[in-house]
Amino acid sequence: MAAPLAAASGLSQGRGGRIDAQPDLTVEGFPAVFALGDVANIPGADGQALPQLGSVAQQAGDWAGRNILADRNGEGRRSFQYHDKGIMAMIGRKAAVAEIGEHRHELHGRLAFAAWLGVHAQLLANAGAELNAFLTWADEFYLRSHHRSAALLDPATIDTPRIHWKDG
């Protein structure tokens, strides 16, 4: 479901309570209002709403910005064209799955995890942020992974009362 703001806006809503966007990402009847991200049903090339994914939201935001600049420059708006770059998901520590490319090549395990890290680092703002993210991920996944589970199970770190099962 969309955020409560979508319902409170009074704008036309569709599936999931999201605001229906026009092909140029504006709202019908309100040419200066754009609907983007998780609050919007953005039509794809087939007319069906695109999935609520970060890549859709990011591309739509860039596209809306270009349409706003086109308006300011007296040029026409263009209908949004989503470029599907594939799907990635982290499924566990050091493991992921991915479908990438035009023919949806599948990746699994550590190779998919490395691709997932690379894509997410590329989306960061600058080289400093990328380096910081990689150092944090390396520390989190490779240096601390074997220490964390032991610390969670250390009775000395637990402040809650213990159950003595033999006390009947």
**Does 144 lie in the same domain as 118?**
yes
**Does 112 lie in the same domain as 56?**
no
Contact status, residue 26 vs residue 34, Cβ threshold 8 Å: yes
Coil, strand, or helix at residue 77? coil
Q: Which domain, by its residues, includes 102?
A: 86-155
Sign, CA torsion 68/57/14/80:
positive
Q: Is residue 119 part of a domain?
A: yes
For residue range 96-111, list pLDDT tens digits in order: 888 887 788 888 888 8
Q: Is residue 52 part of a domain?
A: yes
d(CA 67, CA 25): 9
For residue range 101-148, list pLDDT tens digits in order: 778 888 888 888 888 777 777 777 677 777 787 788 777 766 665 544
**Does 59 lie in the same domain as 20?**
yes
**Does 124 lie in the same domain as 64?**
no
